[in-house]
Amino acid sequence: METRAAVKEKFFIVTRGKARKGFSRGCIGRVEAETQQGELMGLVYSSGSNAGSPKSGGMVRREDTYPLTRHQAQLLLFVSPSSKRLELLCNPQLFSAICELSQDDLVVVKHKKGHLPGLVKNLMQIGRKEKQEDLHMLGFEVEFVDNDHNLSSKKPAPLPLFSAADIIQVVPSYSVPFGRSWRDSPSEGLNRKAVSRINSMPNMGSRSLHLRDSHVEHSITPSQSANTSQMHLEVGSMVEVVSNTGVTVYGVVRWLGVPAGKTSEWAGIELDYEVNSCSDGTCGGQRYFSCKQSRALFVPVSKCSPDSRFLCSSSGNETLKPTKPPLVPPLEDSEEDAPPIPESEALSLLVGTMKGIQGHFNSCYLDATLFSLFSSSMTLDNICHNPADTEQPIAHTLRKEIVNRLRRYGFVPAESVMNFRKQLGCDTFLTEEKDPEEFITILLQKVLCMEPLLKLRSKGEITQGAYTFQIILEKEQVGQMPTVQQLLDTSFLSCDLKFEEVPSCLIVQMPRFGKKYKMFPHIIPSTELDITDLLYSSPRECFVCGHLAEHECLQCLPDRKLQPGKIKQYCAICNTQVHTHPSRQGHSPRALVVPAGMSADAPVPRHMMHLFAVLCIHTSHYVSFVKYGPDPRSWIFFDSMADRCGDDQSGYNIPEIRACPELGDFLSQSEEDLARANPSQAGELVRRLLCDSYMFLYQKPSTAP
Ligand SMILES: [Zn+2]
Ligand SMILES: [Zn+2]
């Protein structure tokens, strides 16, 4: 009787839809019947202590659900609140690994103090099963591995119990060759500890585990030598390293090279979690990159293998095939829009693999642009007030499937981006690599129906508006390593351009063309742009005496005696004096439009713009840096195609977001120090920003995150 029921039973989780008839998002149910219209009738399991007993029946549309096995349903039932169940489901690699866990597998769990490694000791059945349709919840008893990575000698009794959602990482069990899945022998070793808990895990005795941290680099052996010899390692590769005691650690390669005192190539790896005696990016007293304390591991390159969690050979789970693209995060039915991700939540929501916008088929220009414009910035939200009922279908797709998803879940699957691309009106958007400026213009003009962001005056006349601004100048007009401020000032002055008004968003495109040519090998980002002197009819102060300026002079711009690279405007007196100098007698200063009624010594307000994102390009691949809050160190780096799982046909890209506070440290230096900076000595991400910048995105301070 019980066996036959088990064959027929079908479980599901509600992934979207408004709460109705007992079913709401995150609810787990069991199918009792299915209508021809594709509706499921079923029992619903509540949450809380009574979670195992199904309540009333209800109806839900099939497309609003996702099928679960009994085991998955039991694991998810113990996860509370129910919204966390969906989050776990959005990480299919992890969830399928959790479903396959067996005794003594090493996992990392969320615990009070942070993230702790531990060994799974038991799968616990929780709750009573009085009626046949009752379902046990399943949780894991985990024994912590202490700070020295030895097993705790004293077992606390009982061991702490964790839900599937508490597990943030699973270490594969190939180091446990005799590892048996508990599902092979579900009734073995029943050991009633408490009325509500049944130990259903085969008892295999504990296995001691040692990770000798202080010499971790010497005790590491390659786990898959075949892989190792063929593996192409580069900065950004996700790797695993196995110690000779069988403990695997995972991380991302942040540095490659020959460290001082070594002769072979080593890798500096930022680990996914802390390991005692690992550093914050230094090795032998020398800094190679920056990360959190106890996260940096340095090992010979030969010891690294590809991160097996993202290889496509492991799991046998019937509903979550790893070669399939990951599950789509559920769509909200509510019309309510998600606000930009606040600074306090950005790192926990965004940092990691399978985060951000998933790249697909040359989409990186689009992924990097959308991520920059929408993840943390309010700017476009503020400018664009189209009411939902008048918006075009494509704007609806953008808002629902991309922006809201990104802000709520930190992940947008490639399908959503493809759906958006299909509506852009031209087939080339589906397949070809495009320029971000072309995309931005279409996005703002056609999709969001926005007025041009920039209103420019050329030679005193109002010209057409623009969505982005392209820097145009002669290479000789600025120094070897110019700042964005210098480039913008020089470009405006030499083209005789002015802003009609302060733009709420200013997107500046660097002087580089096509995939190869860049005018400057390095450009220093200006975190603040002062556009006071670029505004038409806004009062400006004399460069020399500070009084109201009446003339400006392009030829004075590069003058070595007068702060080269800085815009020069003068009051009438200073204008005459400066230009009596023999070297400046040939100059032709232009008269400025001075607002009527300005007194000569009234203070002039400064108009500043704040940098909130940078698009970078290298070998035709676009990535972006985003400032996710006011703190100077609040920078993240996003790559929609950081890695790939599977082959060209059936595989998918793995997007990744990394925190890069070191960028904030670098940019906080004084102007003089920045001008003297040596890019080749900067960390990897800082160097990429200096070398590869393509577009700088600025916003008015009132709209800053
Ligand atoms: Zn003056
Ligand atoms: Zn001059």
In the numeric block, which tokens belong to residue 638? 């996003």
Q: Kindly report which listed range (298-312, 551-565, 648-662) carries the lowest average pLDDT score.
A: 298-312
- Please check whether residue 132 lies inside any domain of the structure: no
Domain match, 521 and 585 both: no
Given a cut of 50, whether residue 263 has pLDDT beyond it is yes
Strand order of the sheet with strand 238-242? 296-300, 266-271, 248-257, 238-242, 305-306
Q: What is the residue-averaged pLDDT of the chain?
A: 78
Given a cut of 50, whether residue 312 has pLDDT beyond it is no
Q: Hey, which residues does 653 pair with through a beta bridge?
A: 644
Average pLDDT for residues 315-344, to the nearest whole number? 57
Ligand nearest the Cα of residue 561 is 2
Domain that holds residue 562: 539-604
Domain match, 406 and 298 both: no
Q: Decide if 657 contacts 350 (C-beta within 8 A).
A: yes
How high is the pLDDT of residue 690?
Answer: 95
Which residues does 153 contact at the CB level (< 8 Å), separation at least 6?
none
Q: Give start and end residues of each alpha helix (H) in 302-363.
A: 343-350
Average pLDDT for residues 296-312, to the nearest whole number? 76
Q: Which residue matches tokens 């063929």?
A: 230
Ligand nearest the Cα of residue 558 is 2
Distance CA 224, CA 121 (A): 27
Domain match, 426 and 574 both: no
509 CA to middle of ligand 2, Å?
A: 28
Q: Kindly report which listed range (109-123, 482-496, 661-675) carries the lowest average pLDDT score.
A: 109-123
Domain match, 507 and 544 both: no
Omega into 329 within 30° of 0, i.e. cis? no
pLDDT of 557-585, one tens digit each? 888 888 877 889 999 999 999 999 999 99
- Please check whether residue 148 lies inside any domain of the structure: no
How far CA 682 is from CA of 288, 296, 366, 666, 678, in Å, comes to 9, 17, 28, 9, 7
- Please check whether residue 317 lies inside any domain of the structure: no
573 CA to middle of ligand 2, Å?
A: 13
- Please check whether residue 163 lies inside any domain of the structure: no
Overall domain count for the chain:
4
Distance CA 217, CA 224 (A): 17
600 CA to middle of ligand 1, Å?
A: 10
Angle (nearest 5°) at CA 474 between 565 and 369: 85
- How many C-beta atoms surround the C-beta of residue 201 within 10 A? 26
* CATH number for 517: 3.90.70.10
Domain match, 505 and 488 both: yes
* CATH number for 32: 2.30.30
Distance CA 518, CA 487 (A): 14
In the numeric block, which tokens belong to residue 328? 């789509």
Active site residue 364: yes
How high is the pLDDT of residue 215?
Answer: 34
Given a cut of 50, whether residue 325 has pLDDT beyond it is no
108 CA to middle of ligand 1, Å?
A: 66
Distance CA 165, CA 107 (A): 12
Average pLDDT for residues 250-254, to the nearest whole number? 83
Helix (H, G, I), strand (E, B) or coil at 176: coil
Domain match, 491 and 574 both: no
577 CA to middle of ligand 1, Å?
A: 9
Ligand nearest the Cα of residue 578 is 2
Domain match, 690 and 622 both: yes
How many residues comprise the chain?
A: 705
How high is the pLDDT of residue 302?
Answer: 84
Average pLDDT for residues 606-622, to the nearest whole number? 93
Query: Which of 604, 634, 659 is the endpoint of a domain?
Result: 604
Query: Which of 552, 569, 604 is the endpoint of a domain?
Result: 604
Distance CA 163, CA 681 (A): 45
531 CA to middle of ligand 2, Å?
A: 20
Distance CA 449, CA 472 (A): 27
pLDDT of 58-112, one tens digit each? 778 877 788 888 889 989 988 887 778 887 887 777 888 888 888 777 888 887 7
Given a cut of 50, whether residue 455 has pLDDT beyond it is yes
- Going 283 to 287 to 293 to 299, the CA torsion angle's sign is negative
Given a cut of 90, whether residue 174 has pLDDT beyond it is no
Q: Which residue matches tokens 């073995």?
A: 188
Ligand nearest the Cα of residue 568 is 2
What percent of the chain lies above the pLDDT cut of 90? 30
* CATH number for 254: 2.30.30.190
Domain match, 572 and 664 both: no
544 CA to middle of ligand 1, Å?
A: 5
Ligand nearest the Cα of residue 556 is 2
Annotated catalytic residue, options 505, 610, 621, 645: 621
Domain match, 514 and 610 both: yes
Ligand nearest the Cα of residue 545 is 1
500 CA to middle of ligand 1, Å?
A: 24
pLDDT of 203-230, one tens digit each? 222 323 333 333 333 333 333 333 434 4
- Please check whether residue 130 lies inside any domain of the structure: no
Q: How many distinct helices (H) and strands (E) make up the chain? A: 18, 38
498 CA to middle of ligand 2, Å?
A: 18
Distance CA 86, CA 595 (A): 59
Q: Which residue matches tokens 């050329």?
A: 458
Closest CA to 64 of 84, 86, 46: 86
Domain match, 515 and 543 both: no
610 CA to middle of ligand 1, Å?
A: 29
151 CA to middle of ligand 2, Å?
A: 75
- Please check whether residue 141 lies inside any domain of the structure: no
Q: Decide if 689 contacts 663 (C-beta within 8 A).
A: yes
Predicted TM-score (pTM) of the model is 0.58
Given a cut of 60, whether residue 11 has pLDDT beyond it is yes
Domain match, 466 and 615 both: yes
Distance CA 286, CA 275 (A): 19
Torsion of CA 201, 206, 207, 208, to 10 degrees: 140
Query: Which of 68, 88, 108 is the endpoint of a domain?
Result: 88
How high is the pLDDT of residue 334?
Answer: 55
- Please check whether residue 458 lies inside any domain of the structure: yes
Q: Hey, which residues does 267 pair with through a beta bridge?
A: 256, 299
- Which tops the pLDDT comparison, 108 or 466? 466
588 CA to middle of ligand 2, Å?
A: 7
- How many C-beta atoms surround the C-beta of residue 409 within 10 A? 19
Distance CA 28, CA 336 (A): 25
Closest CA to 688 of 637, 629, 632: 637
Domain match, 612 and 666 both: yes
Q: Give start and end residues of each alpha helix (H) in 253-352.
A: 343-350
Active site residue 136: no
- Please check whether residue 102 lies inside any domain of the structure: no
Annotated catalytic residue, options 278, 364, 645, 660: 364
602 CA to middle of ligand 1, Å?
A: 13
Q: Decide if 379 contacts 699 (C-beta within 8 A).
A: yes
Distance CA 464, CA 454 (A): 9
